[in-house]
Amino acid sequence: MQLLAVGLNHTTAPVSLREQLAFAPDQLGQAVMAARSWFERIDHRGSDEAAILSTCNRTELYAASTVPDPLDAGAHFLADFHKLNYAELRPHLYMLPQHDAVRHTFRVASGLDSMVLGETQILGQIKDAIRTADEAGGLGTYLHQLFQRSFSVAKEVRSTTEIGAHSVSMAAAAVRLSQRIFDKISEQNVLFIGAGEMIELCATHFAAQNPKSITIANRTLERGEVLAHRFGGRAIRLADLQDKLHQYDIVISCTASSLPLIGLGMVERAIKARRHKPMFMVDLAVPRDIEPEVARLNDAFLYTVDDLGKVVQTGIENRQAAVAQAEAIIETRVQSFMHWIDDRAVVPVIQHLQENGEALRQMELERARKMLAKGEDVDAVLEALSKGLTAKFMHGPQQALHRAQGEERAQLAELLPQMFRGRR
């Protein structure tokens, strides 16, 4: 069984490709089952494991498989599931074999591979992905152990280093960018589209600037109202965007929609109604909520999640010492996990030895019972039982030693006495 990780992220692929490879939340369970079936069609053993992590910054397939070339199989699965051209997708994929896959998993969980170094949101996203994979039957011994250990590593990194100190969040970056367009956010009307964790975080940062008004647009009005109430705002339905978009100076969107919610025509009409007053827009969704063509408009300033990523890199030099410390922790934990994998490899051998030993024991025990039933002396029966067990257990090693030659015989001669040393 080999562990692997195949995927792409914000460093290997632009948002235009990431959105094509993204999995919708309601699609993940089906995708996990499809990944398992994909591997099982190749090796027919039905023991493969799979989990999928899909966020605005990454899409990754984690798997444990016995197929001959699991990395290639995983990469082709991602392309096939999304009906993408494999040759065009391949240059953007990282394909990590066992040792590298374990290190990558620990780094992702610890926030070292994030656009915002040390951010904590990714850990919750991983836990959600693993819960979904488990419910879909994708987790087995290997992936379960891998992710449980990744959670422990992440906790250790965050509690013993300052990896998250001085970091600039995506939400804070959105505020910074908006201040390039509007001197005073306190004079602007802000619209948030969606009601998830990222929108809640952004709303918190913008609310601290005391904007003129805050509005939450959400597919479910009730959920939008709950979030709006926290910030003294109001809620509207997504269906109302068409008629009300022009009322807002700042628009932040992050939903799980598979199609854009705001098109070029809608923004053009809004800009016209605003008499060309600038509109600042941030699209944090992958796939995108706002059509990229909107960026061409003179009075619309559209930023994507990748644009904000460039802002959050500021101050990274101050965290290099924490990064080095975190990497050292991760490397130690990777080695520990690899020892666990090595131990797993000998489990079948141990089970086989135990089964053979039990079979030999039962054979000699039955022989002894028959001797006792015939009325033979108990001491003689015990003597025969002990000699019979000893002869049977020694037969295999003695035969192996006789058949071996050269270096193999020397190794056996050194190992066998240790095997039969026993306790006294």
Annotated ligand binding at 187? The verdict is no
Annotated ligand binding at 341? The verdict is no
CA-CA distances (angstroms) from residue 145 to 116, 132, 225, 337?
Answer: 27, 16, 40, 9
Annotated ligand binding at 202? The verdict is no
22: nearest Cα among 268, 257, 270? 257
Annotated ligand binding at 198? The verdict is yes
CA distance 379 to 269: 103
Annotated ligand binding at 120? The verdict is yes
CA-CA distances (angstroms) from residue 129 to 280, 326, 373?
Answer: 32, 24, 63
Annotated ligand binding at 114? The verdict is yes
Residue 73 near residue 93, CB atoms below 8 Å = no
291: nearest Cα among 274, 307, 268? 268
- The catalytic position among 5, 53, 56, 308 is 56
CA distance 195 to 228: 9
Strand order in the sheet with 94-96: 49-54, 58-65, 2-9, 94-96
Annotated ligand binding at 79? The verdict is no
Query: Is residue 202 annotated as a catalytic residue, yes or no?
Result: no
Give every CB contact of residue 221 below 8 A, 6+ residues apart in sequence.
Answer: 235, 236, 237
Annotated ligand binding at 107? The verdict is no
Annotated ligand binding at 293? The verdict is no
Annotated ligand binding at 194? The verdict is yes
Based on the number of CB atoms within 10 Å of its own CB, is 270 exposed (0-12), middle (13-18) or buried (19 or more)? Answer: buried
Annotated ligand binding at 383? The verdict is no
Residue 330 near residue 106, CB atoms below 8 Å = yes
Please count the other Cβ atoms lying within 10 Å of the Cβ belonging to residue 160.
12
CA distance 194 to 224: 8
**Sign of the alpha-carbon dihedral angle for 261, 262, 265, 266:** positive
Report the catalytic residues: 56
Which residues make up each annotated binding site for NADP(+)? 194-199
Write out the binding residues: 55-58, 114, 119-121, 125, 194-199
Can you say which residues are annotated as belonging to the binding site for substrate? 55-58, 114, 119-121, 125
